[in-house]
Structure 1
Amino acid sequence: MSRLRTVTRRLPLTSTLVVVVLVLSVWTRTLWSPLLGQPLRDSATYGLPALEEGAWWTVVTGAFFAAQPFQYVPILLGLIVFGGFTEWRLEAWRCAVALVSCHLFAVLGAAALLWLTRDHGYEWTTTLARVRDAGPSAGFLGAAAAASVTLSPPWRGRVRTLLVAYVVLFVIHMGGLADLEHVLGVGFGLLLGPFLIGRKPALTVRHLTRRDFRLLASGFFVVAAVEVLLRPFTTADGPFAVTMTREARAEELANTDVLLGLVQVVLWLWLARSLYKGRRWAWRWAVGLLVVVIVIQVLNLGYMVVVGEQGLLAAGWELFGNGLGLAVCLVGRHAFRNPSVRRARRTTGSLVAPADDDQRSRATRLLQEQGTVNRLAWMTTWPENRWFAPSSVNGYVAYRVHAGVAVGLCDPVASSEEDRFVLLGAFANAVHGQGLVPCLFTVTSEASHHARAQGWHSLQVAEEAWIDLPSLDFVGKAWQDVRTALNQAAKLGIRFRIGPLADMPRGIQMQVKAISSEWVEDKGLPEMGFTLGGVDEALDRNVRVGLAIDEDSTVHGVTSWMPFHGSGGGDPSGWTLDVMRRLPQGFRYSMEFLIASACLTFKEEGCPVVSLSGAPLARTRPSAGDESLDRGTLDTFLDRLGASLEPYYGFRSLHAFKSKFQPRHEPLYLVFPDEAALPRIGLALSRAYLPGAGVRDLVTLARSGRD
C-alpha cells in the first residue's frame, strides 16, 4: 500500500483519470453493457456523425468511456502505462497539455479527413465517416510519443519506432476509426514533444550503426510475422483492402491454411533472430527471399494492370514494403558478417573468401596456446577478420580486405620469433599471389624489423600505453586526478564490478548497450571498427568488463579488457583496454575510476602488466630509430585523417587522457612492401575504420581537414 500511495502522489493526474474512467463505467453500466446500444451513446461518442449533429461536446465526454466493455481493459492499461510514462517524464501540467491536445487533434483531424474524402469512391473513408467512437487511446498514445522527446538515444528512437509501427500496422490491417485516430495522435505527439520542453522540433539524420541495421532488418521480419498473424483479422474496410468485397475477403479467409501461416511466422521469427545476431547466412537468405518475392510481386502487379484485376493498391503496398526491407539489407550488408555456426564454410584457397566459425575458433585457440608479442592481439579473433593459417607454421595472420589491399591486423600470431618471421613472408607471398597488396597495421617493433629485413617499409602510426603493475601505488602529485576519482566514487557509493558481460544480469547488459549506443549516436560520423571494439566484442566471455555502478544499480561507465597471451601461450599474462564508454549525465570521473580500479584488481591477481591500448591515428613524435624509416605520402594522409576525425572521435584527446596513468609508451607501426601502393593502402585503412561511410561522410572529413 505504501508503494501505491507513493505512485499516486507522484502521478496524480494519471491516478485521477484512471479512477474517473472506472467510476463512470460502473455508474453508467458501460463496464458490462455496450455504450453504442444505450441512450447515452449520442452524448458520449464522438466522430463525424456527432459533429454534424452539433454534439461538439462529445469530443470531450467521449474520452471517458469505451464503446465496448472489453475495451476498458486496454484503455485502463493504456492510461496507466502510457499516461503514467508521460506524467513521469513531463510532470502533470505538461502531461495534461499533451493528453488533451493529442486527443483533440486526433478526433477532430480524423473527422475533417473523413469529411473531405467520403463519397468519392473510397469505400474505407466513406464507411468510417458513418462510425462513432469513444475512449482516450489516441490521447495517451500521442502523449507518450510527445514524452519520448525526453528520452536519450537509443531509447528515444526505439520507443518512437514501436509506437509508429503499432499504429501503422493496425491502421493498415484493421482500418478502424480508432486506428486512424491513433496515427494522427502519435504523429501530432511527435511534433508537440519538443515544444513541451521549450525547443523547436528538428529533423536530424544520423548514421546507422551495425546494430541499427541489424535491428531494422530483424524488425522487418518481425513485422512480417505480425502481419501474418493479423491477416485473419483484417477487414475489408482497411485502407489497402478496399477494392476487395466482403464476400471475397470472407472466401480468402476461409481458404487460409492456419498451419501454413504458423509455419511462416516461425520461419520469419527465426530469420529475424539470426539477422539480429548479424549472421551472414541469414542475410543471404533474407536478400534471396526478398528478391524472389519482389520479382513475383512485380509480375503479378503487371498482370493485374493488364487484365484490370482489383487489388492494385494492396499489391502496390506489399511491393513497397518488401522493397524497403531489401534496401535495408543491401545498404547495411556490412553489418551481417558474422559467420554461421551450423553451416560453416571452410576456406582453403582464396584470401577474399569469407571465413567461418571454425577458423575463428582455431585462431582463438592458437592465440591462447601459442601467444604472441603484441598486447593488442586479441582483436585478431574478432569475427569480421579473415585468417591466413598455412599448414607449415603453427600460427596465423588476421587480416581484412578493402580496396584490393589485405590489411593485416597486429603481429603474426605464433610462439617463436622465427615462426612469426616465416608467417609474415608466407602471408605476403599468398597475398601477392591473389593480386592483392599486403600490409600489416599496428604491429610492434619486432614485426617492423622483420618487414624491413624482407625489403618492406615501416611507418609509425600510433603509440601503445602500458603500465607495470607491481610498482603501481598511486602515490605522489602526478596521481592526484586518479586519487580524486577513487575518493569521489567512494563518497557517492559507486563501486567497481568486473567480469564477463555475457554472464551479468540482463538489466546490466541493457544499460551497457544503451550507454554505448548513445555514445555512437552523438558522433557526426558512422560507428568505427577495425581496431575499435564495441558491445558485440565485449560480450565475448574471454573479455572482462569493468563497470562503475551506484547503489541504485545504475551503470555510470563501462570499460572492457581483452586478454593478452604472451609468447608461449597459457593463462593471460596481461589485459588490454578496449571499450571506454561513460553515461553522459553520470559520474564525472568514471573513466579514471574504472581504469584505476581495474589496475588494482589485476595487480592483486598477480598480473604483471596492463595495456591501455593505442589511440588510433594519434601519436607523439617518432620514436628513436624511426627517423630512418620511410615517411611520406601515407604519413601525411594519416596525420590529416587523425586531425579530421578528432572533433568526432577524440583519438588524440584519448591519447592525452591516458597520460594521467603515467604509462610507458611503445610505438606501433604500419608495414608495407611498396610506396607506390600508399594511395590504395590509405583508402583501405579509411574503409577499414569506416566501413559504412558514404560520399557525404568523406566530404565531411575533407572539409574538417581543411578547417
Structure 2
Amino acid sequence: MRKATGWVLRLPVTMTLAALLVACAIVAGPLTGPSSVLRVWAGTGLVSVAHGPNPLSPITSSLFTDGLTELLGALIATFVVIGGAERLMGRWRTLLAWLLTAVIGGAAGMTLQATGVISAQLWSHDAAAAIVLDPFTPIAGAAMAASAFANRLWRRRIRVIGFAGLLLFVLYSGTSADLYRLLAAVAGLLLGLLLAPRARVALRWERSSHHEARTLLASLLILGAVAPLIAVVSHVAFGPVHSLWLVGATGAGSPDDVCGVFATDDCIRALASIRLDGPGPIITSVAPLLLLALCAFGLLRGRRIAAWLAIAVNVLLAYLSAFYDGILPWAPDRSQLLSPDGVGDQVIPLTLSVLLPLALAVLIGINLAHFSVRPSTQTLRRFVATVIVAFVGTSTMNLIAGSVTRNEFEPPATLLNLLLDLPERYFPVGYLDDRLIEFAPVGDTAAAVYFWTGAVFWMIVVAASAAVVVSAAGRHLATDLGRVRTLLRQNGEGSLSHMATWQGNTYWFSPDGAVAVAYRVVSGVAVTMTGPIGPRRLQDDAIRGFTRFCDENGWIPVFYGVVEDQSAAFERAGWQVSVVGDDTVLDPASFALTGKKWQDIRSSINRAAKLGIEASWTTWEALSIAARTQIEVISEEWVAGRNLPEMGFTLGGIDELQDPDVRLMLAIDRNGRIEAVTSWLPTYREGAIIGWTLDFMRRRPDSMNGVVEFLIAATMRHAKDRELEFVSLSTAPLARIGAGSGSPEDSDRTAQVLEYVGRKLESLYGFRSLLAFKIKFQPALRPVLLAVQDASVLPAVGIALVRAYLPSMTVAQVLSLMRTLIRPVGEAPRTAPVTAPVRVISPDSSATGAHPVGSDSAVAVEAPAHHGAPTS
C-alpha cells in the first residue's frame, strides 16, 4: 500500500491518466468499446465533428479505447512513456504536453484531411470517414516533448525511431489516428524546445558512436521491413504508399464466378488476382522483408555484407515502384494495364514509394564506414555463386517446365511468353496490382511453375544471406577467430594481444596453423593489430609467409603494435622497426599508495568513499539492461563532445565491451548510478590470465574528480589479490614519452612522421593529455613498435593509419583534419608541459634498429587542460 501511494505521489499525472483510461473503459464497456452514440460524441475526426460537435473531442477521444487489447496497450504506454516524461519534465509540463498535443494533433489532422478531400487525393477519402478513439495521440506528443529533456542518447533514439515509426504508419496504414499521432509528435517536439531550459542544445544533432549509428540504422531498416506488412495484417489500406503493399488486393471475386462469355472488367480483374493464389506468391512477397529484417540484425553486428544487401533490396523496391507505378502508366502502349489512365492523383504516393526505400539505401550507403566486419573472400564468392545458381536454376526450370506444360496455361504459353513473363515471377505481387495477366495456369504442374519460381529463389537467397550475415562475418571467419583465441590463450604476445579478436580483423595463418596474423586492409595497406601470434621460434617464417601473402594480393604489409621481444625477428627479416608509442605497465605486486607521489590517487579513493561510490568488477553479460543503457549514455555523451568521430582500430567502444573475456570495473553510487566505466582486456600464458590491459574509459561529465583514478586503483588491488604479473594502462595512440625532445630516436623518419601527426591531432583528441594522465601512476614504459619493409611506403602507411583510426570521417571532417595538420609546426600547444618521473624500459637497439628511449629520468609530457581523467 505504501509503495502504491509512493507511485501516485511521484507520478500523479501518469497515475491520473491511467485511472481515467480505466474509468472510461468501464463506463463504455471494456470488451466491446463505446456504443455508437458515445463513440460519435467522444470521438474526433471529420465525421464526428460534423455529426456531434464536441469542442473537447481531441481530449475525450484520447481517454476512450476500442476494446480490451487497446486498453492494455494504452495503459502500458501510459506507464512507460508518460511516466518517463513526467520524470524528465515534471508533472505540469507533462500535463501541458498531453493536453496541447492531443488538441493540436487532432485539429491539424482534420484540417489536413479536409484539404485532401477537397483536392481529390484518394488516400484521404476513406480515412477521413472514420471516427477516431485513440489514446496514443497525446502519448506520442508527450514523448517528443520529453525528448528535449532527455540525454543525448535517448533524445536521438526517441526522435529518430519515434518519427520514423509514426511516419511509416501514416504512409502504409494511413488511418486518421496514424495521422493525428504524427502531427501530435511534431507539436510535441516544438513544445519541448520551448519548454526546455537549453533549447539550442535540445535541437542540435550531435555525433553518434559506431555502436549507436548501427543501432539507429538497424532500427530504421526493421521499421521499413515491418511497415509494408501493417496494411496486410491489419487489413487497413488507407496509406498513400499503396505501391509498397507487397500483397495487393486486385481481385474482384473468383474468375469462375464473374467470368462469362464476355470479358468484363470484373472478369479481367479476377483473372489478374490469380497471381495471389497459394503460398508461393505470399513467400515471394514477404521474403524481401525477411531479408531486410535479417540485414537489420547484421547491421547491429557491424556486418558490411548486411549493409550492401539492405541497399540492394531497397534499391530494388524503389525501382519496382518507379517502373510499375510511374513509367508504365505513362508508356505509349498502356494496353497491359487494368487502369490505363496515367498517374493522375497518385503523384504523391508514387513519389513517396520511390523516395522512401531510396533514401534508406542512400543513408546506409553514406554510413558504410560504421560496418567494418567483412566476410572472407571465400565466403563472399560462395554467397554470390549461390545467388547466381539459384536464379539461373529457377529461371531455366521455369522455361523448360513451362514449355513442356504449355497447354496447361490458358491461353497456351509460348516460350517467348514465358521469357517475357519470367522477371515478374520474382517480384512481389503487390507491384503487379495493375498489370493484366498474360496467361493463367490451369493445371497443377503449370501452377507449380508459375507460383513457385520466385518463391524458391527467394528462399535460397534468404538462407544464403543468413549464412553470411548471422555468423561472425561468415562461417570461415568465425572459425578463424576461434583459432586465434586458442593461440592467444597459449601464446599471448604483450598487453595489446587481445585486440586481435576485435571486429574488422581478418586472419592469416601459417601453413601448419601454428602462427596467426590479425590484419585489416586499409587503402591498400595490410595493417596488423599486433605482431605474429604463436610460438616465438616460428615467427620468422610467419613474417616471411605473411609478406608473400600480401605481395600476392598487392598490399603493403605493415606490422603495428609489435612488442619489444618480437623486434629481433623483424630485424633478421630486414624490416625497419620504429618506436611509435609507449605501453604504460604497472606491477601489481609492488603496488602501494604510499608517499607523496600517490597523493592524488589516495584523494580520489577517499573522495569516493565519502560519496558512497564503490567499484564493481563484472562483465557485460552480467549487467542488467538498465546498467548497459547507462554505459551507452555515458559513451554517447563523450562521443558527442569530440571534434571528430569516434576512433576505432586499437581503441575499443561499446561493441568490444560485449566480449565475454573482457572485464569491466564500474564506479557505482548508492543509488545504482554508474559514474564511470573502464574495460580490461586479458593477456594469457598457457591458458592462464597473467595481466589486464585498460581499453574503454568513460566517465559522466558531472562525476567526481578522480573517479577513473579510483577505478584503476581498484583494478590494481584486484590484480594484486590474484597475483597477476602486470596491469597495463595501454598506449595513447600517436603519443610518446620524450617525443619531440631531440633524443636520438626522433631522428628515425617513421617516428618523426607519426609523432608529427600525433602532435597535430592533440587539440582534437588529446593523445598526449591521455598519456600524461597515465604517467600519474608511475608506470614502467615498454615501447610499442611499428615495422615496415621500406621507408618509401610511409606516406601510404600514414594515410592507412589515420583511416584505420577514423573510418567514418566525412569530407568536412577530413578538411578539418587537414587544417589541423597544416598548422605551423611551431604553433604553441593548447596544453602546458609538465614533467613527471617515470621508469623507462629501453629496447635493445642493436637487435631492433630502434634507438633507446632512455632510463630513469624526468620526461616532458603534456598535462590535461581540464579537471578529471581524460578518456580513451
- The answer to whether the superposition gives a TM-score over 0.5 is yes
Deviates more, 1:490-499 or 1:45-54: 45-54
1:574 matches 2:719: no
Relative distance call for 1:65 and 1:97 in structure 2 (3 A) is closer
Alpha-carbon shift at residue 596 of structure 1 (Å): 0.8
Relative distance call for 1:268 and 1:428 in structure 2 (3 A) is closer
| Matches of 1:283 and 1:60, distance apart in 2 | 42
1:674 matches 2:790: yes
Alpha-carbon shift at residue 687 of structure 1 (Å): 0.7
| Matches of 2:239 and 2:741, distance apart in 1 | 75
1:403 matches 2:523: yes
Q: Deviations over 1:500-557 (max 9, x none)?
A: 3234444433433343333323323222111111222222222222222334433222
Per the normalisation by structure 2, the TM-score is 0.72
CA RMSD of aligned residues (A): 3.7
Alpha carbons 2:488, 2:534 under 8 Å: kept: yes
Aligned residues: 694
1:320 matches 2:355: yes
Deviates more, 1:172-181 or 1:253-262: 253-262
Q: Which residue of 795, 806, 818 corresponds with 1:690?
A: 806
Alpha-carbon shift at residue 688 of structure 1 (Å): 0.7
Alpha-carbon shift at residue 146 of structure 1 (Å): 0.7
| Matches of 1:523 and 1:135, distance apart in 2 | 42
- Matched with 1:237 is 238
1:415 matches 2:535: yes
| Matches of 1:408 and 1:166, distance apart in 2 | 42
Alpha carbons 1:45, 1:133 under 8 Å: kept: yes
| Matches of 2:688 and 2:75, distance apart in 1 | 58
The DSSP-based 3-state class of the residue aligned with 2:118 is coil
Deviates more, 1:530-539 or 1:76-85: 76-85
Q: Which residue of 766, 771, 779 corresponds with 1:655?
A: 771
| Matches of 1:243 and 1:602, distance apart in 2 | 59
Note the residue ranges of structure 1 that are not aligned, 5 or more in a row.
Answer: 348-352
The DSSP-based 3-state class of the residue aligned with 1:397 is strand
Deviates more, 1:537-546 or 1:63-72: 63-72
- Matched with 2:446 is none
Q: Which has the higher contact order (CA 8 A, sep 6+)?
A: 1
| Matches of 2:604 and 2:170, distance apart in 1 | 53
Alpha carbons 1:542, 1:562 under 8 Å: kept: yes
- Matched with 1:620 is 737
- Matched with 1:98 is 97
1:379 matches 2:404: no
| Matches of 2:806 and 2:692, distance apart in 1 | 26
Relative distance call for 1:434 and 1:78 in structure 2 (3 A) is closer
Note the residue ranges of structure 2 that are not aligned, 5 or more in a row.
Answer: 254-272, 335-339, 383-472, 828-872
Alpha-carbon shift at residue 680 of structure 1 (Å): 1.1
Deviates more, 1:108-117 or 1:556-565: 108-117
Alpha carbons 1:225, 1:268 under 8 Å: kept: yes
- Matched with 1:591 is 708
The DSSP-based 3-state class of the residue aligned with 1:621 is coil
| Matches of 2:553 and 2:698, distance apart in 1 | 40
The DSSP-based 3-state class of the residue aligned with 1:667 is strand
Q: Deviations over 1:175-199 (max 9, x none)?
A: 2222111111101212221221223
Relative distance call for 1:206 and 1:250 in structure 2 (3 A) is farther
Relative distance call for 1:82 and 1:506 in structure 2 (3 A) is closer
The DSSP-based 3-state class of the residue aligned with 2:660 is coil
Deviates more, 1:48-57 or 1:118-127: 48-57
Alpha carbons 1:98, 1:146 under 8 Å: kept: yes
Deviates more, 1:464-473 or 1:542-551: 542-551
Relative distance call for 1:90 and 1:292 in structure 2 (3 A) is closer
- Matched with 1:276 is 300
Q: Deviations over 1:585-633 (max 9, x none)?
A: 445433112111111111111112111110101122149996156534x
Alpha carbons 2:370, 2:807 under 8 Å: kept: no
| Matches of 1:270 and 1:429, distance apart in 2 | 38
**One-letter amino acid of the structure 2 residue matched with residue 475 of structure 1:** T
- Matched with 1:286 is 310
The DSSP-based 3-state class of the residue aligned with 1:661 is coil
The DSSP-based 3-state class of the residue aligned with 1:470 is helix
1:531 matches 2:531: no
The DSSP-based 3-state class of the residue aligned with 1:363 is helix
The DSSP-based 3-state class of the residue aligned with 2:167 is helix
**One-letter amino acid of the structure 2 residue matched with residue 642 of structure 1:** G
- Matched with 1:486 is 605
**One-letter amino acid of the structure 1 residue matched with residue 560 of structure 2:** F
The DSSP-based 3-state class of the residue aligned with 2:538 is helix
Relative distance call for 1:72 and 1:445 in structure 2 (3 A) is closer
Q: Tell me which structure has the larger Cα radius of gyration.
A: 2
Relative distance call for 1:484 and 1:112 in structure 2 (3 A) is same
Deviates more, 1:683-692 or 1:325-334: 325-334
Show the 5 A alignment for 1:13-92: 13-23=13-23, 26=26, 29=28, 35=34, 37-38=36-37, 41-42=40-41, 44-48=42-46, 55=53, 57-59=55-57, 62-63=60-61, 65-66=63-64, 68-69=66-67, 72-92=71-91
Alpha carbons 2:522, 2:804 under 8 Å: kept: yes
Q: Which residue of 304, 327, 347 corresponds with 2:329?
A: 304
| Matches of 2:306 and 2:11, distance apart in 1 | 45
Relative distance call for 1:495 and 1:52 in structure 2 (3 A) is same
Show the 5 A alignment for 1:82-481: 82-129=81-128, 131-201=130-200, 203-232=203-232, 233-241=234-242, 248=250, 255=276, 260=283, 268-300=292-324, 301-306=326-331, 307=334, 308=340, 313-338=348-373, 356-372=477-493, 374-391=494-511, 394-416=514-536, 418-448=537-567, 450-452=569-571, 454-481=573-600
Alpha carbons 2:40, 2:51 under 8 Å: kept: no
Alpha-carbon shift at residue 479 of structure 1 (Å): 1.3
Relative distance call for 1:543 and 1:399 in structure 2 (3 A) is same
The DSSP-based 3-state class of the residue aligned with 1:559 is strand
Q: Deviations over 1:608-660 (max 9, x none)?
A: 2111110101122149996156534x555534533444344332221111122
| Matches of 2:252 and 2:634, distance apart in 1 | 50
Relative distance call for 1:239 and 1:36 in structure 2 (3 A) is farther
Percentage of identical aligned residues = 29
Per the normalisation by structure 1, the TM-score is 0.87
